[in-house]
């Protein structure tokens, strides 16, 4: 019992401190990706920036919009934040350690809050509860754009949960257990090559993309983009309530990085962790930081995906590929049981070959330049009056006023539908 109290306190404080420094990491790393410096005035290297942010948010006026549903408005940040904080309860951060206690005996304790038999189910269920917070925040704000943002965000999260769930089924099949600790331990067969990412890269990629979409993170952050919906579902929140949404978002980032590292990247296993179990959390922490850096890198590189394309991608691309990945892993597990021997290795090699071939083919098709003919047509139209174009004005008057475009316009063939009248 002391163990659970202590571990939950440690986990909570690590999450809060981790959230604070994730904000600094993001702002500084994103800045370096954009050839600028992040916050570096508040404390050395900007390390006291979270303190400044916290003080500012505490002193901000806590506004509740008129005619907003007060109870729901107050409760929505709580409903979003609490699941984000408790989702990591079932993830062990290191192998079991032997701890001496005051009654003279040694106890074997896990370095996690508790390792439930159905840990994966807990992960999926608790993330689903957080979605309620989003849609209730949007609805209770009495603001149609916040409502739209909330609906969009929750619809996106629900759609990508399908693919995420299927991508979580793959490690469950490969490990043979739904307990997160067992999944991590099953990746211990070989030092690095035992990680599940090497056995089913398709599922790992789907997991990565689905986790980004779960936390509304770029490039899937349309629901909270400033240009689109002026901060979406949390646009009416200020002060401490906004701080809770901010907290929930970043802790969600940390949580999904942890889940991704646990499921596919070997969790706390690395070279010497078996001999020194206390290194487990350190190794896990380094992996989580690496995944966070990748998330920030993605945010700094890719443009935002438009909402309808985002939903189409989730349902029409991710879901079929997730089903294929699950089928592949199912076949791999059965072959491994029946045939044994090098079946697992061969399946992994074939999986990687197909994945790399498919990825290079598909990525090579994306972003092909348009043909020269259309470029020339654009050239012609811009010559004939790009500066003097007036819409809604009779063409003769426009031609007279725009002056130098006169002769050019009468000679060049006009592409259809470019000018009214």
Partner 1 sequence: MNLVRGFVTTFKHVLEGPVTIQYPEQERPLRERFKGRHALKRYDNGLEKCIGCALCAAACPADAIWVEAAENTDEERYSPGERYAKTYEINMLRCIFCGYCEDACPTEAIVLEHEYRLSFSDRRDAIYVKAMLLDPLPPGVEGTPRRTEPGQFTRSIPVMENPK
Binding site for partner 1 (CB under 8 A): 29, 31-37, 297, 300-302, 359-360, 363-364, 366-367
CA atoms within 13 A on the CB side of 223: 28
Query: Measured from the CB of residue 106, what is the shortest distance to partner 1 in angstroms?
Result: 47
Query: Measured from the CB of residue 358, what is the shortest distance to partner 1 in angstroms?
Result: 12
Report which of 340, 245, 235, 266 is spatially closest to residue 95, judged by C-alpha positions: 266
Closer residue to partner 1, CB minimum distance, 34 or 117: 34
Closer residue to partner 1, CB minimum distance, 38 or 65: 38
Report which of 325, 279, 223, 316 is spatially closest to residue 111, judged by C-alpha positions: 279
Query: Measured from the CB of residue 222, what is the shortest distance to partner 1 in angstroms?
Result: 19
Query: Measured from the CB of residue 209, what is the shortest distance to partner 1 in angstroms?
Result: 12
Alpha carbons 138 and 140: distance in angstroms, whole number: 6
Residue indicated by tokens 């990748």? 294
Query: Measured from the CB of residue 302, what is the shortest distance to partner 1 in angstroms?
Result: 7
Residue indicated by tokens 């996106």? 156
Closer residue to partner 1, CB minimum distance, 178 or 211: 211
Query: Measured from the CB of residue 299, what is the shortest distance to partner 1 in angstroms?
Result: 10
Closer residue to partner 1, CB minimum distance, 33 or 383: 33
Query: Measured from the CB of residue 31, what is the shortest distance to partner 1 in angstroms?
Result: 7
Alpha carbons 135 and 128: distance in angstroms, whole number: 12
Alpha carbons 226 and 157: distance in angstroms, whole number: 19
Q: Where are the beta strands (DSSP E) in 56-199?
A: 97-100, 106-109
Closer residue to partner 1, CB minimum distance, 205 or 325: 205
CA atoms within 13 A on the CB side of 30: 15
Query: Measured from the CB of residue 37, what is the shortest distance to partner 1 in angstroms?
Result: 4
Contact 312, 159 (CB under 8 A): no
Per-residue CA distances from 210 to 155, 174, 310, 333 (Å)? 13, 20, 11, 24
Neighbours of 389 (CB within 10 A): 15
Q: Where are the beta strands (DSSP E) in 35-181?
A: 97-100, 106-109
Closer residue to partner 1, CB minimum distance, 25 or 180: 25
Closer residue to partner 1, CB minimum distance, 79 or 296: 296
Closer residue to partner 1, CB minimum distance, 221 or 409: 221
């Amino acid at each position: 019992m002391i163990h659970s109290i202590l571990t939950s306190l440690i986990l909570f404080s690590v999450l809060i401190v981790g959230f604070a420094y994730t904000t600094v990491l993001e702002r500084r790393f994103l800045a370096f990706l954009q050839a600028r410096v992040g916050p570096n005035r508040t404390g050395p290297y900007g390390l006291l920036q979270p303190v400044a942010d916290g003080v500012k948010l505490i002193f901000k006026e806590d506004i509740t919009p008129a005619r907003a549903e007060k109870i729901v408005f107050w409760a929505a940040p709580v409903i979003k934040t609490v699941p984000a904080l408790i989702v990591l309860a079932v993830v062990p951060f290191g192998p079991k350690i032997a701890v001496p206690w005051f009654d003279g005996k040694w106890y074997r304790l896990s370095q996690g809050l508790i390792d439930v038999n159905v840990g994966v189910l807990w992960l999926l269920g608790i993330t689903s509860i957080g979605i309620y917070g989003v849609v209730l925040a949007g609805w209770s704000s009495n603001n149609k754009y916040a409502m739209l943002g909330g609906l969009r965000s929750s619809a996106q999260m629900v759609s990508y949960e399908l693919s995420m769930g299927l991508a979580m089924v793959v490690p469950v099949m490969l490990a043979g257990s739904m307990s997160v600790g067992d999944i991590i331990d099953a990746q211990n067969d070989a030092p690095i090559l035992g990680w599940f990412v090497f056995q089913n890269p398709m599922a790992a990629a789907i997991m990565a993309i689905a986790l980004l979409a779960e936390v509304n993170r770029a490039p899937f952050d349309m629901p909270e983009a400033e240009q689109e919906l002026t901060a979406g579902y949390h646009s009416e929140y200020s002060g401490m309530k906004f701080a809770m949404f901010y907290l929930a978002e970043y802790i969600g980032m940390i949580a999904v990085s942890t889940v991704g590292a646990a499921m596919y990247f070997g969790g706390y296993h690395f070279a010497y962790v078996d001999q020194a179990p206390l290194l487990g959390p350190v190794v896990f922490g380094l992996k989580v930081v690496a995944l966070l850096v990748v998330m920030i890198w993605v945010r700094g590189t890719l443009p935002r995906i438009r909402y309808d394309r985002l939903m189409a991608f989730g349902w029409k691309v991710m879901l079929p590929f997730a089903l294929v990945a699950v089928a592949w892993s199912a076949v791999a597990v059965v072959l491994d049981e029946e045939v044994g021997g090098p079946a697992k290795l061969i399946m992994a090699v074939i999986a990687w070959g197909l994945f790399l071939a498919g990825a290079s083919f598909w990525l090579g098709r994306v972003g092909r330049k348009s043909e020269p003919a259309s470029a020339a047509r654009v050239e012609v139209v811009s010559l004939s009056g790009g500066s003097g174009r007036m819409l809604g004005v009779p063409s003769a008057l426009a031609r007279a006023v725009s002056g130098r475009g006169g002769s050019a316009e009468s000679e060049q063939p006009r592409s259809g539908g470019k000018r009214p009248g």
